[in-house]
Amino acid sequence: MPGSDDAVQRAIHALETGGTAVWIRRMLAFAFIVGLALFYLLHEFRGLATSQAMDQAQIGRELLLGHGWATKFARPLAAGQLQRRGRNVAGKIWTDTYNAPLPPLVDAIALLPVRSHLKMTPHDIVYVGDRMIALLSIALFLASVAVLFLIARRLFDQKVALLSCALILVCDTFWQYSLSGLPQMLLLLLFNPTIYLLVRAIETQAEGRTVRRWLALAGVGFGMLALSHALTIWIFLPTLVFAALYFRPRLRAAVWMLAPFLLLYAPWLLRNYLVCGNPAGVAFFSFFDQLGMSEAGYMRHLAIDYHAIGFGILRNKISDNVAAQASRILQYFGWSVVALFFFAALLHPFRRAATAATRWLVLVMWGGAAVGMAVYGINEEQGVAANQLHLLFVPIMTCFGLAYLLVQWNRLEITSRLARVGFLTLLFVLCGGPMIFNLLLASAKPSVRWPPYVPPYIAVINDWMKPEEITATDMPWAVAWYADRRAVWLPDTLRGFTDMSDYNLLGGKINALYLTPISGSQNTLKDILKGEYKDWATVILRSVDLKKFPLPWATLLGLDNEGVFFSDHDRQKAGAGQP
């Protein structure tokens, strides 16, 4: 029938060019994103990846329970800091001064829906808390991509914005960081709006209007970033210089950014000072990483011998870190070839003044971050690192890199639509290579991150230890998170361990000792005998005479018997057993 034919033709036309086609594309994009999220959550996720992620998570649980920024993870160096500042060690050591405040707060929000199910049992393989934190982290990542779209659309056009967002979504590194529990996705969600506010400030000045509001809001953004990771201050400082040189009036422009930053960040510094006598808390000592020993090695001491640290060691540390960043820059950029073309885009004369100015702003910010990472180092665990700030710049740099590549492609005057599609496909294949590899060659992976973590075995300690008792261990962050019990980082010497326990430095005796592959099988015999755990070599090698050891009861606890738990009495009989 003629009427029916017309209706069919109209429907087909709507599917091809009308609003229906737009909604179909949106639904396909949404399905693609949901599919990726499910793939990573169900196939790639094996629990939180790093010590800092677990440390912040257990503080988040304390926040959720109304205990404030309390911790169940004690560092001997924090105890020494409290002693030197005349503070009550037993009263203050269980108040965290190492982590920034916002990541644990976000973790507390993630844990809220499962508040009544936070006790891990020996029969749970993946902790429900881990899953909730990863789920919220993925949500933060996707929200940051939405903000990136707004930035790219203002600087370029909608097509570049959509393609840039798609390139970020196929970057495997972002998804891996989303699963890690580290604060990078929170940082990204704060960083992208801050860039958006600075772009608006640049546009507003070009229009001859006051930029006070935009710079003040950007200062708030940087304050929130600093409260999420102190290393982002290295991004703020060069941005402050840029604001003073670019915006008018110069001095007032810098003040408009600095004032809200200080109003947000100063109270946390004051809080740390009141707790431990140092505005930077025990995190201050992170600077000494690689200066003679690792940060972990220093944190296990009660004090640092500053006389052993010279300028030459500091110079070597910085030069080594600069060389490491340069040699691994593509990896730190998430293997995004397009993002690296940002540096080529610096030579391109963009027509829009705001776009041209923003690229120099991004360069200045990235330079500050690179210097900060050179000073403090990038220490990876399980392929991710808490200090990896290059990742924050990949989205905005991808926008510039893609715009530059599209301009160069247009200059070739290749009119074939197939060739253009092929060119864009090549870019996606190059940037999404690791993800494509995972999708096409997906194979079964271990259900836990072993070595060194096996959460069910760690959870047993919850039944063996009372809430007020303390366990010394080489993985206190995991005991605090999975077992929900107080743990102190294994002191550097047996003498230090004995003194700390006998004098109740932490508010009670140390009732147990838990050693894992971190100090044992993950190291060579030379590392065990001469490394940072050398004073514990006989205990690690299990050749200690238990009759003379302060914790005479021992049981194997871990896969392949690679973990061992020492205690003052047989706790296994009173506990719930092992997995």
**Interval 82-126: pLDDT, tens:** 999 999 999 999 999 999 999 999 999 999 999 999 999 888 899
Which has the closest alpha carbon to 488: 359, 302, 352, 287? 302
Question: DSSP alpha helices (H): ranges in 287-352?
Answer: 295-299, 311-327, 329-332, 337-340, 342-345
> What is the Cα–Cα distance from 73 to 55, expressed in whole angstroms?
7
Residue 273 clears pLDDT 50, i.e. is over it: yes
Distance CA 262, CA 495 (A): 43
Spacing of C-alpha 579 from chain mean position: 30
Per-residue tokens: 122: 């020996």
| Confidence grade of residue 233 (pLDDT, cut at 50, 70, 90) | very high
Mean pLDDT, residues 363-385: 96
Comparing 8 with 198, the larger pLDDT belongs to 198
Q: Which uninterrupted H or E stretch holds 144?
A: helix 128-155
Residue 442 pLDDT more than 90?
no
Cα-based distances in Å from 316 to 68, 118, 231, 312, 386: 40, 45, 20, 6, 22
Q: What pLDDT does 576 receive?
A: 46
CA distance from start to end of the chain: 71
The count of other CB atoms within 10 Å of the CB of residue 495 is 10
**468-494 mean pLDDT:** 97
Widest Cα–Cα separation across the chain: 99
Contact status, residue 179 vs residue 50, Cβ threshold 8 Å: no
User: Could you write out the DSSP letters of every residue in 170-214?
Assistant: T-HHHHHHHHH--THHHHHHHHHHHHHHHHHHHHHHHTT---HHH
> What DSSP letter does each residue of 465-532 carry, written as one string?
S-TT-EEEES-HHHIIIII--EEEEPPSSHHHHHHHHHTTTTSS-EEEEEE-TTTTTTS-HHHHHHST
Share of the chain above pLDDT 70, in %: 95
Tokens standing for residue 63:
């926040």
- What confidence tier does 509 reach under pLDDT thresholds 50, 70, 90? very high
The answer on pLDDT for 17 being more than 50 is yes
- Sign of the CA dihedral with 479 first, then 480, 481, and 485 last: positive
**Least confident segment among 155-159, 224-228, 503-507, 567-571:** 567-571
| Single pTM value for the model | 0.94
What's the pLDDT at 577?
Answer: 47
Q: What confidence tens digit (pLDDT) does each residue in 534-563 have?
A: 999 999 999 998 888 999 999 999 888 899
What are the pLDDT digits (tens) for 244-254? 999 988 889 99
Spatial CB neighbours of 480, under 8 Å, sequence gap ≥ 6? 54, 55, 58, 71, 72, 73, 486, 487
